[in-house]
Structure 1
Amino acid sequence: MNPDWLIFLTNHNAHIEQNRVLHFGQPAAELAQAESGLLLIDLSHLGLIRFSGEDAQDFLQGQLSCDIRAITPERAGYGGYCTPKGRLLCSFLIWQDASDHSYLMQLPAELVESIAKRLRMFVLRSKVLIQDDSGHFIRIGIAGQNAQAWLQETLPDAPITAAPMTVTSIPDGQIICHSANRFEILTIPAQAPSLWEQLSKQVRCAGAPIWDWLEIGEGIPVIFKATQEQFIPQMINLDSIDGVNFRKGCYPGQEIVARTQYLGKVKRRMYRAHLDTDSHMEVSAGDSLFSADTGDQACGMIVNAAPSPAGGVDVLAVIQTSSAETGPVHWKTPDGLQLAIQPLPYLAACRTLQIKG
């Protein structure tokens, strides 16, 4: 986290651990407002890798699962970076910096160093510079039913649209529309404090767990260290959010990813679910899931988890489809808490996600 920004947030009552804002002094009130109110969220827990140079597009096209040619200064997209066996090392959001057309990849800060180091190994003679650019921009999330209107009022000269994955240029930064009610602002450190002050006049400040919960609600998976190399892209539904292009050329793991798709052998998929946990129970990425049809063998794994405004925890979980269809599915042990499966916004129309029993 930018040192000056850390001081600024601390002075505004932010409770911070390991560069992640947990809350602003009222975690329960922040969570209660997540469903209906406007929220302002620091996103310093997410890192940025910048790819610059004349060969950057070709290099990334040969490394990532998404179609980099579709990424522009006006259009962001999701994607994954796989091992040669098709297993995901990270998932990410990627877009172009309007100032120089370099590419910015956003992913958990804990993965920035290792992913950048691995990608540098394959640059060879390509004219590509890969660098940790996490401190170059301050990133601020704003979410809620009137997020677009409030942003437009705050930044009247920027034509902000609510079309998902649209990127709007603003002075010294950009605005990314994640969904109709969720936006991300990138701005330089010198401008961030005044922008935060302006936005926070009528908006409640909230911690990073709220952003996590919003991503879970939209079915956007995030790979962490605990889940690296556990899933192929289709298992976490990257193909459902345009994070995989099956018509592009080769990239690490492409043969396995494509074969799985065309042979129809995706036996595990990502579901959204709720757990009625007690406050002392910690649900974490990487936790195992169990079902009667698999006995003592795990039938799935938690991908992401966050406290729910309704109480308990909401999760994204990769589950064997046969187990999800026959259910119930249990957390951590064969007789643990039962998952209540909920619809995903992009799959509700084409698949019923219902656990019986």
Structure 2
Amino acid sequence: MNTPWNDFLVQTGATIVDTGVRFEAPEAEVRAAADGTVVVPLAHLGLIRATGEDSVTLLHNLLSNDVKKLGAEDAQWSSFNSPKGRMIASLLLWKDSDGRMIATSADIQPMLLKKLSMYILRSKAKLTDAGADTVLIGLSGPDAASIATGAGYAVPLAPMKQSASGDVRCIRLNENSLILAVPAAAAPAVFGELVAGGARKAGTAAWQAAMVRAGVPMITASVQEEFVAQMLNFDLIGGVSFNKGCYPGQEIVARMQYLGKLKKRMYRVHVATDTAPQPGADVFAPDFGDQSAGKLVNVVPAADGGYEALAVLQSSSAAAGEAHLGTLTGPRLTFLDLPYALPEQ
């Protein structure tokens, strides 16, 4: 995390933890996000900047989406995959004045930067850690757009679009969630403006809860190389292009799309337990007996107790409506709605 930004957050009452930032207990922050609009320092995200005349081609040849079609007003979900088609990193991309920006989970950002840099060879491209000069701030809730607009920042009208107000870029993920990419020196002032406009300060858990409700997964170190993109519904949120040509893992991803072999999908679930489940924990279902039927991907406290999670699960088990955490007799999962429809298997 940017050190001056870190110092500012501590001065405003934040506690810096391994998983990000906390102003209150995570449960209280999740309730705040459910009840109103919150402003969140996105300290759990790391940044990579790609520059140079060959940088677009480099990323296009490595990632699951069509980077060449990423316009100046666009944002894009994408992924970097293993040769076996398993997701190594989930990514958010957008264009800024210097090149292309990539946001990913902070715990895997150094590994991803190193791995992507190995492909540069003689290309006229450069990949750098952008966390020292750029800070990400999230706004989530029904008043997110009006608060950002009131602070003087242009807000895109459509999801997965971005707009610039001077050096500040606003990326709209969905109706209620925005990300502001801000020069580090200006971040304290921007954060203060958003709080003054009516957003409540909240920590990482509040943002993660909003992403779970939106059905947008994040790959962290604990679940790397566990899932093919479609298992995480990346084909449904616009994170995969099936027309762009080759990239690592493309053959596996395409085979799942066109040969109908996808047996798992990602679901949103609630688990009534007092002990926080861990990402990567196994899920069991009667139709699979003692064999794991899936895994948790992301987990957050639920506003009304227990935990919400995104879970990749055998579609047959989800259709049967019964799944349990840890063992066949573990806490039962309750299936919750996603904001998009899953295709019939």
Q: Which category of TM-score, normalised to the shorter sequence, fits these structures?
A: over 0.9
Q: Judge conservation of contact 2:79–2:90 (CA < 8 Å) in 1.
A: yes
Counterpart of 1:273 (choices 256, 269, 272) is 269
Deviations 1:276-315 (A, max 9, x none): 112xx02121000001111111000001110111221111
1:335–1:5 CA distance, 2 compared to 1 (3 A): same
Matches of 2:125 and 2:93, distance apart in 1: 16
Q: Judge conservation of contact 2:168–2:182 (CA < 8 Å) in 1.
A: yes
Q: Which portions of structure 1, spanning 4 or more consecutive aligned residues, are displaced by more than 6 angstroms?
A: none
Matches of 2:26 and 2:280, distance apart in 1: 25
Matches of 1:33 and 1:303, distance apart in 2: 23
Distance apart, 1:351 and its partner CA: 5.2
Matches of 2:269 and 2:108, distance apart in 1: 26
Q: Judge conservation of contact 2:37–2:199 (CA < 8 Å) in 1.
A: yes
SS in 1 for 2:242: coil
Distance apart, 1:203 and its partner CA: 2.0
Q: Judge conservation of contact 2:20–2:44 (CA < 8 Å) in 1.
A: yes
Aligned residue pairs total 344
Q: Matches of residues 228-307 of structure 1 in structure 2 within 5 Å?
A: 228-278=224-274, 281-307=275-301
Paired position in structure 2 for 1:179 = 174
1:73–1:19 CA distance, 2 compared to 1 (3 A): farther
In the alignment, does 2:162 pair up with 1:167?
yes
Deviations 1:22-76 (A, max 9, x none): x213544432221131111000210011111101111111111111122122100
Matches of 1:11 and 1:351, distance apart in 2: 50
1:8–1:332 CA distance, 2 compared to 1 (3 A): same
In the alignment, does 2:116 pair up with 1:122?
no
Matches of 2:132 and 2:271, distance apart in 1: 36
SS in 1 for 2:59: helix
Distance apart, 1:209 and its partner CA: 0.6
1:162–1:36 CA distance, 2 compared to 1 (3 A): farther
SS in 2 for 1:240: coil
Paired position in structure 1 for 2:206 = 210
Larger mean Cα displacement after TM superposition, 160-169 or 48-57: 160-169
Paired position in structure 2 for 1:103 = 100
Deviations 1:83-131 (A, max 9, x none): 111111011111111x12x111100111111111111111121111011
In the alignment, does 2:3 pair up with 1:8?
no
The aligned amino acid for 1:286 is G
Q: Judge conservation of contact 2:321–2:335 (CA < 8 Å) in 1.
A: no
1:10–1:19 CA distance, 2 compared to 1 (3 A): farther
Q: Judge conservation of contact 1:63–1:251 (CA < 8 Å) in 2.
A: yes
Q: Judge conservation of contact 1:269–1:319 (CA < 8 Å) in 2.
A: yes
Distance apart, 1:218 and its partner CA: 0.5
Deviations 1:190-222 (A, max 9, x none): 211112122112221001011111000000011
Q: Judge conservation of contact 1:36–1:145 (CA < 8 Å) in 2.
A: no
Q: Judge conservation of contact 2:88–2:225 (CA < 8 Å) in 1.
A: yes
Paired position in structure 2 for 1:191 = 186
Matches of 2:238 and 2:185, distance apart in 1: 34
The aligned amino acid for 1:188 is P
Matches of 2:166 and 2:344, distance apart in 1: 43
Distance apart, 1:242 and its partner CA: 1.0
The aligned amino acid for 2:150 is E
SS in 1 for 2:173: strand
- If the length of structure 2 is used for normalisation, what is the TM-score? 0.96
Identity among equivalent positions (%) equals: 39
In the alignment, does 2:144 pair up with 1:147?
yes
SS in 2 for 1:176: strand
Q: Judge conservation of contact 1:292–1:327 (CA < 8 Å) in 2.
A: no
Paired position in structure 2 for 1:34 = 33
Matches of 2:332 and 2:201, distance apart in 1: 33
Paired position in structure 2 for 1:355 = none
Matches of 1:120 and 1:161, distance apart in 2: 32
* Runs of 5+ unmatched residues, structure 1: 353-357
The aligned amino acid for 1:20 is G
- If the length of structure 1 is used for normalisation, what is the TM-score? 0.93
Matches of 1:25 and 1:342, distance apart in 2: 26
SS in 2 for 1:337: coil
SS in 1 for 2:39: strand
Q: Matches of residues 11-26 of structure 1 in structure 2 within 5 Å?
A: 11-18=11-18, 20-21=20-21, 23-25=22-24
Q: Judge conservation of contact 1:148–1:162 (CA < 8 Å) in 2.
A: no
SS in 1 for 2:206: helix
Q: Judge conservation of contact 1:71–1:77 (CA < 8 Å) in 2.
A: yes
Matches of 1:115 and 1:194, distance apart in 2: 31
Let me know the Cα RMSD of the aligned residues. Answer: 1.5
